[in-house]
Amino acid sequence: DAGITQSPRYKITETGRQVTLMCHQTWSHSYMFWYRQDLGHGLRLIYYSAAADITDKGEVPDGYVVSRSKTENFPLTLESATRSQTSVYFCASSESRDTQYFGPGTRLTVL
């Protein structure tokens, strides 16, 4: 049982490039979330989804786009990457929007 996986685990890109981070969960959880984790800021919510085709903004959505055509997948796209988007990105899923289960993270560096 894989649970929740993220890919790639590490990514280096350049300013202005488009980058997509993938998230896949095998629990059929309704809710999925994207967070970024930075020193001094803790975990901050970027976007979340309550079900397929339903998404909503979190605390720091600017510069990011999400989609959810299938329950199990929740990709996060940086349309034009900036250095300030260098961070560790975590995907999470939840059945009830209470306890969230996190993936292993993607470490993104924007040069």
- The tokens describing 33, both together, are 């979330």
Applying CB under 8 A, which part among 11-19, 20-28, 37-45, 66-74 lies near another protein? 37-45
67: region left, alpha or beta (phi > 0 left; psi from -120 to 50 alpha) = beta
101 binds another protein (CB under 8 A): yes
Q: What angle do CA 96, 6, 61 make, to 5 degrees?
A: 65
Q: Does 45 bind another protein (CB under 8 A)?
A: yes
Phi and psi at 75, nearest 5°, equal: -75, 145
Q: State yes or no: residue 98 binds another protein (CB under 8 A).
A: yes
Element (H, E) at 76: strand 76-78
Residue placing its CB nearer to another protein in the complex, 85 or 103: 103
Q: Determine which residue in the list 69, 100, 108, 109 makes contact with another protein, applying CB under 8 A.
A: 100
Q: Of 1 and 69, which CB lies nearer to another protein in the complex structure? A: 1
Residue 97 contacts another protein per CB under 8 A: yes
In whole angstroms, what is the distance from residue 81 CA to residue 84 CA?
Answer: 8
- Interface with another protein by CB under 8 A: which residues? 42-43, 45, 90, 92, 97-105
